[in-house]
C-alpha cells in the first residue's frame, strides 16, 4: 500500500506546472518608465571609492593613536632613542659609504626622530675629516599640492624657518644662485633618510597625510630608472612606539615602501637591496 501511495503521489507531482522564474529586478520612476540596472563599472568605481575612504579613515585613526603615544614619551626617553638611532646610522658602513644623500630636518614640534648629528656629520669639513663630508639634499615644500623639492645645502646656515616655523633650505644661496635640485642633478644619491608617523617590519610606512614624500619618492625612483642608476636605499628613522605589528598599517597604491628601518634597537633591513647593502 505504501508503494502504491508513493507511486500515485509521484504521478500527481509530475503533472504539476513548474514555477516561473522571477523577473530581473529593475528600478522604476513615475510614469512607469523602466530604467536599466547600473553598469558593473559604476558599481566597481563606487566600491573602489568606498575602499579608499575606508583606508583613509583607518590611517587617520592610526595617526591619532601614534601621536598620543609619542606625546607620552618622556624627554629622557626621546633623547636616549635619538642618540641611539643617530649613532647606529653614523657608525654603519652603508652610511659611511654614501657620498650623496637626502635627509629630513627633524622638527621637535612634530616629534620626529632627531637628525641634527647626522646632518652635521654630512656637512663636516674639519681638517682630516674631509672624506666624511657628503653632498646633502634636504626638503623644501613648494605648495599644498604635494610638491616638495630636495635642495643641496653646504652648511646649516643655509636653512630658514618657513611659515610653520620648520627649517627649510632657502631657494637660492648667498650669491643669489639657485640651489641644486636633486631631481636635476647629474649624479644619483645613495641614501634617503625618511621621517614618518608609523612603520612596520615589512616596509610599510605611514606618513602625515600630505603625500609629499611618497610623491617625491615616486618621481626620484622613476628618474633613477630612466637614467639607469641604482635605486637609493630608503631608510626610515623610528621611535619604538612608532613600530606597528604587521598588517596594522593600511596602504594604497601611492604608498612607497621603505627598504629598512632604524630604531633604538638597531637596523631592520627589509628589502633585498637592504639585506645586501647592510650586511
- Domains of the chain, by residue range, sit at 50-278
Residue matched to cell numbers 602625515: 208
Average pLDDT over residues 128-132: 64
Element (H, E) at 244: strand 243-244
Average pLDDT over residues 49-77: 94
CB 100 within 8 Å of CB 189: yes
Q: Which three cell numbers stand for residue 244?
A: 606597528
Q: In what order do the strands lie in the sheet with 266-269?
A: 148-153, 135-141, 100-103, 191-194, 233-237, 260-263, 266-269
Q: Which pLDDT band, with edges at 50, 70 and 90, does 44 fall under? A: low
Average pLDDT for the chain: 85
- The CA distance from 13 to 188, in Å, is 82
Average pLDDT over residues 261-271: 98
Q: Hey, is 62 helix, strand or coil?
A: helix
Does residue 14 carry a pLDDT above 50? no
- The CA distance from 88 to 81, in Å, is 11
pLDDT value at residue 42: 52
Q: Hey, is 222 helix, strand or coil?
A: helix
pLDDT value at residue 31: 38
Does residue 228 carry a pLDDT above 50? yes
* % of the chain residues with pLDDT over 90: 71
pLDDT value at residue 144: 80
Phi-psi category of residue 146: left, alpha or beta, with phi > 0 → left and psi -120 to 50 → alpha: left
- The CA distance from 159 to 144, in Å, is 20
* Tens of pLDDT, residues 156-167: 999 999 878 889
Query: How many Å separate Cα 40 from the centre of its chain?
Result: 32
Average pLDDT over residues 111-127: 89
CA atoms within 13 A on the CB side of 20: 3
Q: Which pLDDT band, with edges at 50, 70 and 90, does 60 fall under? A: very high
User: The whole model's pTM is what?
Assistant: 0.81
Average pLDDT over residues 17-30: 40
Q: Which pLDDT band, with edges at 50, 70 and 90, does 103 fall under? A: very high
Average pLDDT over residues 13-42: 43
pLDDT value at residue 45: 61
pLDDT value at residue 86: 98
Rg (CA), the chain: 29
**Pick the residue with more confidence: 44 or 202?**
202
Q: Which pLDDT band, with edges at 50, 70 and 90, does 113 fall under? A: very high
Average pLDDT over residues 150-173: 92
Does residue 33 carry a pLDDT above 60? no
> CATH classification of 50-278, choosing from 3.40.720.10, 3.30.1280.10, 3.40.50.300, 3.40.50.10420?
3.40.50.10420
Cα–Cα distances in angstroms (integers) from residue 74 to residues 60, 69, 97, 195, 240, in the given order: 24, 10, 34, 20, 13
Choose among 39, 16, 66, 97: nearest CA to 243.
66
Average pLDDT over residues 74-81: 97
Does residue 6 carry a pLDDT above 60? no
Amino acid at each position: 500500500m505504501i508503494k502504491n501511495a508513493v507511486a500515485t503521489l509521484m504521478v500527481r507531482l509530475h503533472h504539476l506546472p513548474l514555477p516561473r522564474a522571477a523577473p530581473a529586478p529593475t528600478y522604476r520612476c513615475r510614469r512607469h518608465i523602466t530604467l536599466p540596472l547600473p553598469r558593473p563599472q559604476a558599481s566597481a568605481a563606487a566600491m573602489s571609492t568606498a575602499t579608499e575612504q575606508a583606508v583613509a579613515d583607518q590611517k587617520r585613526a592610526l595617526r591619532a593613536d601614534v601621536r598620543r603615544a609619542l606625546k607620552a614619551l618622556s624627554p629622557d626617553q626621546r633623547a636616549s632613542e635619538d642618540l641611539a638611532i643617530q649613532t647606529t646610522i653614523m657608525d654603519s658602513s652603508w652610511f659611511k659609504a654614501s657620498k650623496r644623500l637626502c635627509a629630513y630636518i627633524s622638527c621637535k614640534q612634530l616629534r620626529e626622530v632627531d637628525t641634527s648629528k647626522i646632518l652635521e656629520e654630512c656637512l663636516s669639513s674639519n681638517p682630516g675629516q674631509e672624506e666624511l663630508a657628503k653632498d646633502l639634499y634636504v626638503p623644501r615644500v613648494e605648495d599644498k599640492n604635494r610638491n616638495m623639492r630636495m635642495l643641496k645645502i653646504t652648511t646649516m646656515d643655509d636653512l630658514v624657518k618657513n611659515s610653520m616655523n620648520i627649517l627649510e633650505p632657502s631657494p637660492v644661496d648667498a650669491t643669489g644662485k639657485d640651489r641644486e635640485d636633486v631631481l636635476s642633478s647629474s649624479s644619483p644619491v645613495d641614501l634617503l633618510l625618511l621621517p614618518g608617523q608609523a612603520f612596520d617590519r615589512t616596509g610599510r610606512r605611514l606618513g602625515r597625510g600630505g603625500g609629499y614624500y611618497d610623491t617625491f619618492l615616486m618621481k626620484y625612483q622613476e628618474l633613477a630608472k630612466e637614467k639607469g642608476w641604482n635605486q637609493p636605499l630608503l631608510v626610515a628613522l623610528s621611535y619604538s612606539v612608532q613600530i606597528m605589528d604587521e598588517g596594522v598599517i593600511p596602504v594604497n597604491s601611492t604608498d612607497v615602501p621603505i627598504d629598512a628601518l632604524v630604531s633604538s634597537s638597531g637596523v631592520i633591513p627589509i628589502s633585498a637591496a637592504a639585506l645586501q647593502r647592510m650586511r
